[in-house]
Amino acid sequence: MSPEPRPAGQPDVLVAGGGIGGLGAALALSRQGLRVRVLEQAAAFGEVGAGLQIAPNCTRILAEYGLLEEAKSLGVVPENIVMRDALDGRELSRLDLRDLERRYGFPYMVMHRSDLHGVLLRACERAGVQLLTDRTVTGYENTADGALVRLADGTTEQAPLVVAADGLHSAARLGLVGDDVVSSDYVAYRAAVPIEQVRGNDIAEKDVTVHIGPHCHFVQYALRGGEMFNQVAVFRSPKALAGRDDWGTPDELDAAFERTCDTVRDGIPLMWRDRWWQMLDRDPIDTWVHGRVALLGDAAHPPLQYMAQGAIMAIEDGWVLAKQYAAHAAAAASGAGPDWDAALAEYEAVRVEHCRRVQTTARAWGELWHLDGDDRLRRNAILTARDTHDYSFTDWVYGPTALTPDEEPPMFTPIPLASVGAAHVAAEVSRA
């Protein structure tokens, strides 16, 4: 069923925020015949950052949109995810990504954030989404037949639905929920460089490699068809722990990785040192829908990065919202408009618990990756014993259950470090 007619030039949906989540939602909703307007505060659409991992729970959506081959042509399909100890460089565990693709039906990819953003932007342009820049949304308000947004220039815009995809520091989240961000006391440095600069550093060009160490980790993988190499260095900031405001500075970067293996230490001088990203998230919330204003992406569920699911969850949100709109529009009585309230209630029912699990699991994995002392050795013993084709930790997130309300995935259970005996620790010590 088509939406009710709107006055000429008036959208059916306003999307506040033109990042990956906002464009993904705009594309998904426009595919259902809705007129969508995106309001972006910047002067031009774009993305900052470097690499992005795209798991099968997202590539299946890109495939449905007809965008997977374009995305693959701009990215890299790696062969494995390999986890290593950051201090001695030994392999601890791996995922065979070719087998992973066979299991889930879609590939695991890596690509530059700006490249994925460009894929979605071009798709929105083709779909007729209205893309407006220099529109800073400062407030949200429900109306008798929808919702409106207030802009910094004093004007307002309204539609039957407003999607707040305005990021970690969301104005909608501030006004509707009022909570604050949570600091992990960790900071990330990034760099994407020509691959020739790192070929002498014992890198694995066909893998995603994660070195995990005491209060730090280091991620590496190729980008843009193998022409570039992405590196992410994350560490706990002593200045943050001391309550200082100037935390995460380059001197702390160098100190955090001085004990690591050669491959990691060789990569640290290449990190961008004029910018860094404090690792922040928010506590999970149960309510994402406030009348006709729906939170989406980081405005609803900003995670720490350990599950590599932040952008993916935002794209999933838009996919689910559009599917719920379509289901309730089709079920509406002849001549009646779609039941937006029912669609939004179902969107919230499908997404909230899954995204809560991703957020809390990301926090738990961060603790696990950064263990020191005997706990580090116990963790290494468990990871080394894991079978390469054990998917018990990935089925619930990479499989299709995240997108439907029909199945409840198992809760994440942290690795029981206390169950690993002294013999395992002694074995790890003898290998060191």
Catalytically annotated residues: 221
First to last CA, the chain: 65
Integer Cα distance of 288 and 173 in angstroms: 9
Q: Quickly count: other Cβ atoms within 10 Å of residue 238's Cβ.
A: 14
Provide the residue count of the chain.
432
Integer Cα distance of 373 and 355 in angstroms: 32
Contact predicate 89/263, CB 8 Å: yes
Integer Cα distance of 275 and 254 in angstroms: 15
Match 């929808």 to its residue by tokens: 146
Q: 82: which strand partners?
A: 94, 209
3-state SS class at 8: coil
DSSP secondary structure code for residue 366 in this structure: H
* CB burial string 54-93: b at 16+ within 10 A, e below: bbbbbbbbbbebebbebbbebbbbbbbbbbbbbbeeeebb
Query: Per the structure block, which two tokens stand in for 197?
Result: 């600069």
Instruction: Give the amino acid at 145.
Output: D
Nearest to 32 by CA among 128, 106, 132: 128
Contact predicate 412/360, CB 8 Å: yes
Query: Per the structure block, which two tokens stand in for 52?
Result: 């992005």
**Residue 102 burial class via C-beta count within 10 angstroms: exposed 0-12, middle 13-18, buried 19 and up:** exposed
